[in-house]
Amino acid sequence: MMDEYAFIGLYLFFGACFGFLTYSQRHLFSEGPRKAIDSDQTSLLEGRIFWVMVCTFLWPIMAITRINTAWVLFKRKKQSKK
């Protein structure tokens, strides 16, 4: 029984760390390579708390999304050099 709690705790802890580390790059997870200029600006604390909460539970999906975005940006950069 303790192993399950340890696994869940590590999952949530890793997700929260992932959220703190990726907050400054969060636009790459949802909007693509460009930041939305006309998006609503929230306070830094509200935005960071919301991002950490989302990443705490969904960090595997967010990591896969970031890998996909990195691949798309790599292909665009490669095509622009041609």
State pLDDT tens for residues 6-47. Answer: 999 999 999 999 999 988 887 777 655 555 555 566 677 888
Q: Name the residue with higher pLDDT: 82 or 40.
A: 82
Query: Which residue range forms the structural domain that includes residue 77?
Result: 2-30+42-81
Give a yes or no: residue 36 inside a domain: no
Q: Does 9 fall in a domain?
A: yes
Q: What is the dihedral of CA 75, 77, 80, 82, to 10 degrees?
A: -70
Q: How far apart are the first and last CA of the chain?
A: 57
Residue 26 included in any domain: yes
Total domains in the chain come to 1
* C-alpha to C-alpha distance for 24 and 10, rounded to whole angstroms: 23
In a domain, 77, yes or no: yes
In a domain, 37, yes or no: no
